[in-house]
């Protein structure tokens, strides 16, 4: 075991975990205030419901030895997961690190289905999705499954996380149908500062996401770390220029989006390409996602927070460009198209397609299954009142005016009210 590796991976795990509440802020700022808590809870609750699934079965399905499709259950319930080495770090640490990935992947889906899903059904969906969709896909690419045997390159999860979540998001948005106000009323973000905060924290955490995927404190981690800085930098510049060309105004929401798109795109490539390639990748990734964003807003698809444009398109662009820009002299593993290996691009495309198809199909199945037992969609009345009040019995931004304390029957008030003091001359208190 390597103590430097352990130290770094401890930090990386915490960084990736931070990304889930950060996502809550990113998404939460973009919805209407009456749905702020519900949206943020869709991210935060993933920590619980995907996390528990990971410990019970997900980790085993993903990383236990098995066949080309799934790992066996030898690591379920944390059996065989102890302090022994897994690579150069304790097994438990590897388990924890990978768990934070499962959590945020599932949480990403929520962006497509905000403001209209019954929360209980969403929790059931999260639990099932982590085990049935995320874990097998992780096994395919990282756990020794068929895509890794095919030679697919996915450094930190362009396919496992982003394409996977986006395909699920697309299906979920279709199954849940648009919000009642979509394309009828102006739906505006209620707190863009939250979205900027979320983007900043996501970037910070993403250093753990990408550089931590080197699973050690080594040169590969340093390369991934640097690329995680450079790619979004390029995306941010290009996106800002695109905003200025389109409307002469560089928007804050655009900046936050650009940062995420750049980070998504570099995720599969982070440890495989040169820093200059990372700048090019980041710049290139801005265009398809920007176009997808504009296109989607004109369709009837209520992918409310553009999960497909940011994670689907961004993840696909990143995965494919990994197949173009991978450089063995930098990564020690494989070259891409530009460096004499055209086959890599085809492998990348196959991986993206396979994961997208499986994720879409399985997500559809899970939603239909959950719908057999409970209402999945909020009613139009619930949508109108807001999901914070109807799903959580809470308000994000209440002044408390007009709120009256409900006392239990056996008690009276805690203490008698003080008597008003009357000054001589009749002045009131």
Partner 1 sequence: MNDVLESLFRAEVRGLTLHRVQGHGGETERVETYRGTTVKMELSEKVRLEIGVSDHFVQPTVNAILSAAQTGAVGDGKIFVLPVEKVYRIRTAEEDQAAVTPVG
Binding site for partner 1 (CB under 8 A): 186-189, 246-247, 249, 251, 253-254, 257, 293-298, 306, 427-428
Give the position of tokens 């996380």: 161
Q: How far is the CB of 41 from partner 1 (least distance, A)?
A: 23
Q: Which of 36, 133 has the CB closer to partner 1? A: 36
Please, what's the b/e burial string for 190-228 (b: 16 or more CB within 10 A of its CB; e: otherwise)?
bbbebbbbbbebbbebbbbbbbbbbbbbbebbebbbbbb
Q: Which tokens go with 131?
A: 């085990």
CA 20, CA 245: separation in Å to the nearest integer? 33
CA 148, CA 131: separation in Å to the nearest integer? 20
Yes or no: say if 226 and 275 are a contact pair by the CB < 8 Å rule: yes
Q: Which of 329, 399 has the CB closer to partner 1? A: 399
Q: Which of 46, 173 has the CB closer to partner 1? A: 173
Map residue 1 onto helix, strand or coil.
Answer: coil
Q: How far is the CB of 309 from partner 1 (least distance, A)?
A: 9
Sign of CA dihedral 62, 96, 47, 155: negative
Q: How far is the CB of 419 from partner 1 (least distance, A)?
A: 20
Yes or no: say if 344 and 292 are a contact pair by the CB < 8 Å rule: no
Q: Which of 294, 369 has the CB closer to partner 1? A: 294
Q: How far is the CB of 5 from partner 1 (least distance, A)?
A: 40
Yes or no: say if 210 and 271 are a contact pair by the CB < 8 Å rule: yes
CA 151, CA 219: separation in Å to the nearest integer? 22
Q: How far is the CB of 308 from partner 1 (least distance, A)?
A: 12
Q: How far is the CB of 428 from partner 1 (least distance, A)?
A: 8
- What is the total residue count of the chain? 429
Q: How far is the CB of 275 from partner 1 (least distance, A)?
A: 30
Q: Which of 141, 293 has the CB closer to partner 1? A: 293
- If residue 85 lies in a helix (H) or strand (E), which one and from where to where? strand 85-86
Q: Which of 185, 379 has the CB closer to partner 1? A: 185
Q: Which of 302, 335 has the CB closer to partner 1? A: 302
């Amino acid at each position: 075991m390597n103590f430097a590796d352990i130290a770094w991976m401890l930090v990386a795990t915490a960084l990736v975990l931070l990304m889930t509440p950060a996502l809550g802020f990113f998404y939460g700022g973009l919805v209407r205030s009456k749905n702020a808590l519900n949206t943020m809870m869709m991210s935060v609750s993933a920590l619980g419901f995907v996390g528990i699934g990971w410990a019970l079965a997900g980790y085993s399905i993903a990383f236990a030895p098995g066949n080309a499709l799934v790992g066996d259950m030898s690591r379920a319930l944390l059996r065989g997961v102890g302090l022994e080495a897994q690579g150069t770090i304790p097994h438990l640490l590897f388990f924890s690190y990978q768990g934070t990935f499962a959590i945020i992947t599932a949480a990403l889906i929520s962006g497509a289905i905000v403001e209209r899903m019954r929360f209980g059904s969403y929790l059931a969906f999260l639990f099932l999705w982590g085990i049935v969709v995320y874990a097998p896909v992780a096994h395919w690419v990282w756990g020794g499954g068929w895509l890794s045997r095919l030679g697919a390159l996915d450094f930190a999860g362009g396919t496992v996380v982003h394409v996977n979540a986006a395909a699920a998001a697309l299906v979920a948005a279709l199954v849940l149908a648009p919000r009642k106000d979509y394309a009828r009323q102006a739906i505006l973000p209620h707190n863009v500062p939250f979205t900027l905060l979320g983007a900043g924290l996501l970037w910070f955490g993403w250093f753990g996401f990408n550089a931590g995927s080197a699973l050690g404190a080594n040169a590969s981690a340093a390369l991934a770390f640097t690329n995680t800085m450079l790619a979004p930098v390029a995306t941010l510049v290009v996106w800002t220029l695109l905003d200025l060309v389109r409307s002469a105004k560089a928007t804050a929401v655009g900046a936050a989006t650009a940062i995420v798109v750049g980070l998504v795109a570099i995720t599969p490539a982070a440890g495989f390409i040169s820093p200059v390639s990372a700048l090019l990748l980041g710049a290139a990734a801005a265009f398809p996602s920007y176009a997808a964003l504009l296109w989607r807003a004109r369709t009837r698809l209520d992918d409310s927070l553009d999960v497909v444009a940011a994670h689907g398109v961004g993840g696909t662009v990143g995965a494919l460009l990994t197949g173009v820009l991978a450089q063995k002299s930098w990564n020690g593993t494989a070259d891409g198209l530009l460096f004499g290996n055209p086959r890599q691009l085809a492998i990348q495309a196959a991986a993206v397609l396979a994961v997208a198809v499986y994720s879409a199909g399985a997500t559809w199945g899970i939603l239909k299954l959950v719908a057999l037992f409970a209402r999945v969609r909020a009613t139009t009345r619930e949508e109108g009142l807001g999901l914070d009040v109807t799903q959580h019995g809470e308000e994000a931004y209440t002044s408390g005016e007009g709120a009256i304390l409900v006392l239990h029957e056996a008690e009276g008030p805690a203490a008698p009210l003080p008597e008003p003091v009357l000054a001589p001359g009749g002045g009131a208190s």
